[in-house]
Amino acid sequence: MLWLQLVIKIEGLLTLTVGERFADLGQFTWQALVFLLIGGIMMMLIDWTVRRFGHDKVSHAQYMTALALSGLLGLFLLWEESYRNFQPLKTHNELLLAEVASLREELKAKDQNVEILERRFDKFTAQLTEVGKDTGKTVHALQEKLKERENQIASLQNQLHEKIKKAALRNQLAQLRVEGNRIIDKALSTPTSRPPSDERKQWFTSTIQYLQQNMDAGHVEEFRNPLTPTVHFDGLPASHDVFASDVESRVRVLQRFSDELREAN
């Protein structure tokens, strides 16, 4: 499983832009250096302890054992982080696939309705041709029937277009929620470090821009100033609590936007 997670991480690097690849590679290299530093400190502590109690110098095999344990710890932490980040996207992709399948079924049913209308139109045309004696009335009836069919087809196409548009909008909102939850998890998992303010600012800016392009001003204002109750996280420093609560309130607003779109569908 650990080897599979490393393969997935490498495949993910191949799909990133050049800047994102360097950033991800830099983070991976930094983590590796930290794990090696921890391994070196462990070696020094072991050597100092052995000398303190009057024993001989630590053997090369013991040094390598400590280094291997440090490396295994680092690989485990990398696997745990990638597994935790993969689960929300997996769930979201399953829901999206189910929704796409549902839209395909609706499109298939609408195509069948169009075929029925075409057959009825052809039958009506044949009947008018056989019994119609007045050419003007026959042409007028055909034109009206054709116009009616075109209007019905246009209506079905508009309905399908709206459904696809709302599905794409819900998909993007879900991705923005996943990114917001990732920022919250990062703040909660590192209470002794500074909150990831730059990531929150970038997430906030991109979300505002997307809402301005695809939703009305009321939704944009609600995201800027959420009306949802504030959620507090016990056991955290005040700065981290305020930071996580701020992001959480906006994630809940995005969830409510998705619920509104689903109910209106």
For residue range 107-150, what is the model confidence (pLDDT) as tens digits? 788 778 778 878 887 777 777 666 655 666 767 777 888 888 88
CA distance 67 to 51: 19
Residue 256 within any structural domain of the chain: yes
Q: Is residue 172 part of a domain?
A: yes
Q: Please, which residues have CB within 8 angstroms of residue 192's CB and are 6 or more apart in sequence?
A: none
Low-confidence ranges of the chain (pLDDT < 70): 1-28, 31-32, 35-36, 39, 43, 47, 50-63, 66-67, 70-71, 73-90, 92-93, 128-136, 138, 229, 235, 265
Pick from 94, 232, 80, 105: which is nearest to 163 by CA? 105
- Domain containing 230 equals 132-265
Q: Is 75 among the domain residues?
A: no
Report yes or no on whether pTM surpasses 0.85. no
Residue 215 lies in a domain: yes
Q: What is the number of structural domains in the chain? A: 1
* 82 domain residue, yes or no: no
| Separation of alpha carbons 152 and 181, rounded Å | 44
Furthest CA-CA distance within the chain: 120
Is 37 part of any domain?
no
Query: Is residue 49 one of the residues assigned to a domain?
Result: no
16 Rama sector, left if φ>0, alpha if ψ -120 to 50, beta otherwise: beta
**Among positive and negative, which fits the CA dihedral 157, 163, 169, 175?**
negative
- Flag whether 96 is in a domain: no
